[in-house]
């Protein structure tokens, strides 16, 4: 199972806890995880990826295993520790600054 941690507002919107688990078939890519997330929780469509372009919203970041994966290809395999469920994929609302 893939572990995903959502930011506060999206947890509230999807009515889920901090961490959720998703069944994702191989290869485990960011796009595959987000597809599974949106299929399980349709109200999240458009909140992480632009509804019309499919691109990451500019103030959303993807972290895992101490790395920022936000600029990786959505079709690149995620780290093995994420694919195995040892580590979660963190979906983060970027700092507002100030």
Partner 1 sequence: MATVRVLVGTRKGAFILTSDEARQAWKVSGPFFAGWEIYHIKGSTVDPDRIYASQSTEWFGQLIQRSDDGGATWTPVSNEFAYEGVLGTHQWYDGAQHPWEFKRVWVLEPSPIDAEVVYAGVEDAALFRSDDGGQSWRELPALRKAKGSLWQPGAGGMCLHSILIDPTDPERLFTAISAAGAFRSDDGGQSWRPATHGLKSNWELPDPEAEIGHCVHSITMHPSRPQVLFMQKHWDVMRSDDAGENWYEISGNLPSDFGFPIVVHAHEPETIYVVPIKSDSEHYPPEGRLRVYRSRTGGNEWEALTDGLPQAHCYVNVLRSAMAVDALDSCGVYFGTTGGQVYVSPDSGDHWTAIVQHLPPVLSVEVQTLP
38 vs 72 by CB, closer to partner 1: 38
| Least distance (Å) between residue 12 CB and partner 1 | 8
1 vs 43 by CB, closer to partner 1: 43
| Least distance (Å) between residue 22 CB and partner 1 | 19
Tokens 């970027």 found at: 94
| Least distance (Å) between residue 49 CB and partner 1 | 9
Burial class of residue 72 (count of CB atoms within 10 Å of its CB; 0-12, 13-18, 19+): middle
Q: What are 55's strand-pairing partners?
A: none
d(CA 18, CA 6) in angstroms, rounded, equals 6
25 vs 52 by CB, closer to partner 1: 52
Provide the binding-site residues for partner 1, judged by CB under 8 A: 7-10, 12-13, 43, 45-48, 50-52, 57, 59-60, 93-94
Q: In what side-by-side order are the strands of the sheet with 67-68? A: 19-22, 2-5, 89-93, 60-64, 67-68
């Amino acid at each position: 199972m893939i572990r995903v941690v959502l930011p506060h507002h999206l947890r509230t919107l999807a009515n889920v806890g901090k961490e959720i688990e998703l069944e994702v078939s191989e290869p485990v890519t960011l796009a595959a995880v987000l597809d599974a997330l949106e299929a399980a929780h349709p109200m999240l469509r458009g909140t992480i990826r632009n509804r019309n372009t499919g691109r990451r919203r500019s103030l959303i970041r993807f972290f895992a295993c101490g790395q920022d994966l936000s600029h990786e290809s959505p079709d690149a395999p995620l780290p093995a520790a994420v694919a195995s469920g040892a580590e979660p994929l963190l979906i983060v609302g970027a700092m507002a600054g100030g």
